[in-house]
A and B are shown apart, each in its own frame.
Chain A
Amino acid sequence: MAVDTAGRLAPQRTAFYNDPVIRGFLYQGLIILLVAGGAYWLVTNAIINLRAQGKTFGFDFLFNTAGFDIAFKLIPYNRTSTYFDVFKVGLLNTLLVALIGIALSTVLGFFLGISRLSKNWLVANIAAVYVELTRNIPLLLQLFIWYFAVLKAMPSVKQSLNLNNLFYLNGRGLFGPIPIFDEKFVWTFVAFVISLLLAYTVRRWAKLRLEATGKRFPVLITSVLIIVGLTGLVFLISGTQVGWNVPALSGFNFKGGFAAPPELTALVVGLSIYHATFIGENVRAGIQAVSHGQTEAAQSLGLKDNDRLRLVIIPQAMRVIIPPTTSEYLSLTKNSTLGASIAFPELASIFTGTALNQAGRAIEIVGMTMAVYLTFSLITSFLMNIYNARVALVER
């Protein structure tokens, strides 16, 4: 056995194929070959198959006429529009559902999370039953129930459920009034923006004064007074007339106001109720994650109940609540694709479904759809990383 001058054993020579570095290179080379070979095989197959079907690869089809109509759209669209318009209509509908769903599920979710922690036994347990029931039933089944069993079973137009002659619910959807503003409303809007800025300034001033002198200032009441007062005053002075465009029965359907088709209502209600459960559990976990010692510490500092919640408990709970809730928003957006099953025209339904069936461009269309959701996901994780970096615990 070799011994060096200092009397230590020289490292044992291992065979080169046992050297971890060389092995690493070997394995990685192998996997590159495998992946590249697999990709090559798939691409050649695709080329041969496309040629056999007389198709080419490219995105020029996007500017061909689609030739089918879409029941619900936010931008002008008709039979002569192109596939690219189909894509835009679908994307906008997806975003619409996602935005309404996120707003509703957040409100409902916070309500649920707080209810589950309620000291009232009945409330806490009803919330628990709600959570267990909704999260153990597939979302698709819930959508079917809302759409086929509830909304489609609503009475006909003539026998609509009527709320105060303002809202109507029937088999064709939900109808309600929308406000119409005249041109003088601009001044009210300007006043609203100015009052927001004013309230913000007051808040800053109050904070600086608190830090300098220790004197408190009722910021919340002042802000509300400024915003409501100034906006209301300008609204009255400018003499703005607000009309309501109320839906009214004309012929076989309602005219005027807004009309949410049953597909949209079912999708939004189903998504909100389902995802509110998960958001509620995040809220509960977040509040429970703030250790009891924090409450005691805040009390021993002499903070009032309000300040204790606002300055100690909520900021720490939010750190736990926000990251999983953001991914819940993302999965709500992804789950809006289930609209395809109840014929709501969102991206997966009209673009990946109808347009693909007609144009037959499977690779391009599925690729584009995936790219859209990939973008949503990347944006979310980018925002999340910024947030996490901001609120991360500062440790030694």
Chain B
Amino acid sequence: MSTDNGIFYIRETEAERLPPPGRSTGVVYWLRANLFSSISNTILTIVTVLFLFWLLPLVYNFLIGKAVFTGTMDDCRVETFGACWVFVARRVNFMLYAFYPIDQYWRPNLVFFILLALVIPLLMPKVPFKLANLIAFLVVFPIVAFILLVGGVFGLEHVPTEKWGGLMLTLVISVVGVCGSFPIGILLALGRRSNLPIFKTLSILTIELWRAVPLITVLFMASVMLPLFVPQGFTVDKLLRAMIGVTIFYGAYMAETIRGGLQALPRGQYEAASALGLNYWKSMIFVVLPQALKFVIPGIVGNFISLVKDTSLVSIIGLFDLLNAINAAGSDAEWASPTKAFTGYAFAIGVFFVLCFSLSRYAKYMEDRLNTGHKR
């Protein structure tokens, strides 16, 4: 081998061999990369592990280790810090139904199972008959549920809403709020995007007014101010007033979420719908809304989660929702025990967490499913 000027270089001995790269699999590598990658990281890990060693036994002992599962309330009147599950077990009916007549429990139960039977297939993308399912849920179900819960017809005993309570009431307000706020939100969002100045102004005023005030003032308004604005001798049920308040309040939030979707949709879609000769409502229902709503499913479910959590506020105007029922269930001296309050709240945490966490997981699942863009 040679070049014109005679300068060249050939390595004649083999280069020193480098050591093989470190392991990039296995437990040791994982620990090293994720927990002990640097000195500061190691210190952080040790502090965190110590914290967990303090926290986890505390939680375990409270929930299971030192908890009282069987026996009477007397077994709970000890000074160990353990949950008194006896209290929950003995008062669970009150926490679920409050003052609903015991022999009529099958009615809320039946409504609950119909709800599950309608909602679960609706949420599963692969199950067919979505439209029929939706109509059954939005039109047929409310009527059936109303008849079953209120009664007074078909030989069913009449149960006034003052007797409703517990988890059942929380779910009733949640479902009514979710089903009511969604169409209100769509109408307000469309109004805010309208070209007609009066619709636009009215929608903006409504949305901003409701979003600016706290839900509690809305509930106060519904419970003390609303009766002044209806004709004399005409009373609106207290529960209904609270439901109206919650529904309109979340309708305004829903409107802003949906408006985000409407704005994210390219103009071409609106123009294409007009070019096809569709009128306003047809272009909205068949072209714009299906795409716009798809964009904001996470936001919509986020609103639903807030709504479910905020139903607990109705206890402030004296309705017996789950929280109020739990507070009331232990107010009797008969149930006195050092850990009663904690136990009741642990039960409530469980219920709300299961409800809200599953909703948020579902939102995440739908988001991933509908996200057809490129991921980094």
Contact = CB atoms under 8 A, between A and B. Distances in A.
A356 B217 contact: no
Contacts of B290: none
Interface residues of B, number: 55
B196 A138 contact: no
B323 A338 contact: no
Interface of A: 24, 27-28, 31-32, 35, 42, 45-46, 48-50, 52, 118-123, 126, 132-133, 135-141, 144-145, 148-149, 153, 292, 334-335, 337-338, 340-341, 348, 352-353, 356, 362-363, 366, 369-370, 373-374, 376-378
B226 to A, nearest CB: 9
B212 A126 contact: no
B41 interface: yes
B217 A366 contact: yes
B212 A122 contact: no
Contacts of A122: 34-35, 44-45, 48-49
Interface centre among A49, A123, A132, A136 (most CB of B within 10 A): A136
A341 B316 contact: yes
B26 interface: no
A330 to B, nearest CB: 9
Main SS at interface, chain B: helix
Nearest to B40: A120
17 contacts: A24-B196, A45-B232, A119-B37, A120-B45, A121-B35, A122-B44, A122-B48, A122-B49, A136-B356, A141-B352, A145-B345, A149-B342, A340-B216, A348-B217, A362-B225, A363-B225, A370-B212
B305 A338 contact: no
B229 A136 contact: no
Given A120-B35, A340-B216, A373-B212, A366 B44 contact: no
B310 interface: yes
A362 to B, nearest CB: 4
Contact of B34 (A120, A366, A369, A370): A120
Interface in B299-319: 305, 309-310, 312-313, 315-316
A119 B30 CA distance: 12
Contacts of B232: 45, 48-49, 52
Interface string B202-239: 10000011011111110011001101111110000000
B217 A370 contact: yes
Given A137-B353, A341-B315, 9 more contacts: A45-B231, A46-B228, A122-B48, A138-B309, A138-B352, A140-B323, A144-B345, A292-B376, A341-B313
Contact of A348 (B208, B216, B312): B216
A369 B341 CA distance: 32
B175 interface: no
Contacts of A140: 312-313, 315, 323
A140 B214 CA distance: 13
A369 B228 contact: no
Given A341-B315, A377-B211, A369 B323 contact: no
A340 B35 contact: no
A284 to B, nearest CB: 15
